[in-house]
A = this chain, B = another copy of it.
Amino acid sequence: MVVELISVGTEILLGNIVNTNAAYLAEKCALLGCSLYHQTVVGDNEERMEEAIRQAIERADIVILTGGLGPTKDDLTKEVTAKVFGRKLYMDEHSRTRIRDYFEKIKSKKVTENNWKQALVPEGAIVIDNLNGTAPGLILEDKERGKAAILIPGPPNEMKPMFEHDIAPYLNKKQPEGIYSHMVKVCGIGESRAETMVADLMDAQTNPTLAPYAKTGEVHFRVTARACSEEAAEKLMGPMIEEMKKRFGDAVYTTEENVTLEESVIRLLEEKKMTVTTAESCTGGKLSGRLLNVSGASGVYNEGYITYANASKEKILGVKHETLETYGAVSEQTAAEMALGAAKAAGADAALSVTGIAGPGGGTAEKPVGLVYIGCAVNGEVTVREYRFTGNREKNRDYAVARAITLLREELLKRA
């Protein structure tokens, strides 16, 4: 079944916002076993929108439109789609009631006049309640020609739940074979090298297929199988996943799509009944910020330190003045003392330290921008790694954070 995506909205067309909806829907549709050959963006213009919908309905079975379902005069998606499908609009009492209730209960105000138009619905359309906003979703079907148009509100916090709750099941029913996948997530190995290690698996024309996604400091491999049931899919994917685990070893930290690196490390600490702390210089809080993304991290993290100034490294972490004088703040020695000092100050079993030159200023010939030392102390033993990142300030800090969490995981697996 062929799907085409049309993103409606002048703010997307003119680059005011990035089109995350299209990426989300494209990935979801692929996972539902649909084929996708075109994505288009049009502005809030009646003629061009009609042209795009007609073209899409010609060459695809299902066109999914996001955006343009709101209350303003620029919101035209429903009207234009109804025109293409030859349907009149009528006032849907159910939707009207929901809109009134939404305003009164959640927004505590009266419905402004223009909002009522969102309750107008094309004849014969399937109406999908919006659990997070006012505009209902709509499905218009042309059963004779085997075509359908699916209209979803643009705001991601309305679009995503509606897709998961109503649209995905609708598409699932139309597509007998499903696609199932696992995400094999690898940390600590660079993208080029990781892809080389499984190049044969990626190139092979097999079911399942293997596709790489580069992330900051990680590589994710989607293993995808077409099958008639989840059970059959797992049988197909199993051998490839095992082979990847064999090749990557401990670098694979999960095969579940939703598990993040920081989550897997927090869970590891919980398993081992250990606590961790952080002492950051150049990353400035981004490392602890990321670890504490994880709900429940309070069980393993009590306190942490941003030791930006040298004096602070001495005062809070007990880094020796001589060490700073002799080797400098950005050094293996300082990173080691920061990690051990943080563990002691926080009374934690493990500690991560980061000290480096994020840029753009601060670099020298001996210590260039991008030089970062990451220390990891586990039960009193400290390991330090040196990195030389080549990005801008933001990227260098993000890579340092990713490498730090990766190092903590390695050391926990090795020493604890």
Residues on A lying within 8 angstroms of B by beta carbon are: 12-20, 22-30, 36-43, 45, 48, 52, 211, 213, 278, 280, 282-293, 295-298, 301-309, 311-312, 315-316, 346, 359-361, 393-394
Contact = CB atoms under 8 A, between A and B. Distances in A.
A15 B38 contact: no
28 contacts: A13-B26, A13-B36, A13-B38, A15-B24, A15-B28, A15-B29, A16-B211, A17-B23, A18-B19, A18-B23, A19-B19, A19-B23, A22-B41, A37-B42, A38-B40, A39-B40, A40-B40, A280-B285, A283-B289, A284-B297, A286-B286, A292-B308, A293-B393, A301-B308, A304-B306, A304-B308, A305-B306, A312-B346
A60 to B, nearest CB: 12
Contact of A39 (B41, B293, B297): B41
A380 to B, nearest CB: 21
Which of the listed residues A30, A41, A211, A298 has the most CB atoms from chain B within 10 Å of its own CB?
A41
A85 to B, nearest CB: 22
Contacts of A26: 13-15
Contacts of A48: 37-38
A13 B27 contact: no
Contact of A308 (B36, B284, B298): B298
A316 to B, nearest CB: 6
How many copies of this chain? 2
Contact residues of A: prevailing secondary structure: mixed
A25 B18 contact: no
A37 B27 contact: no
A30 to B, nearest CB: 5
A25 B19 contact: no
A303 B304 contact: no
A24 B220 CA distance: 26
A52 B308 CA distance: 52
Contacts of A284: 285, 288-289, 291-293, 297
A247 to B, nearest CB: 22
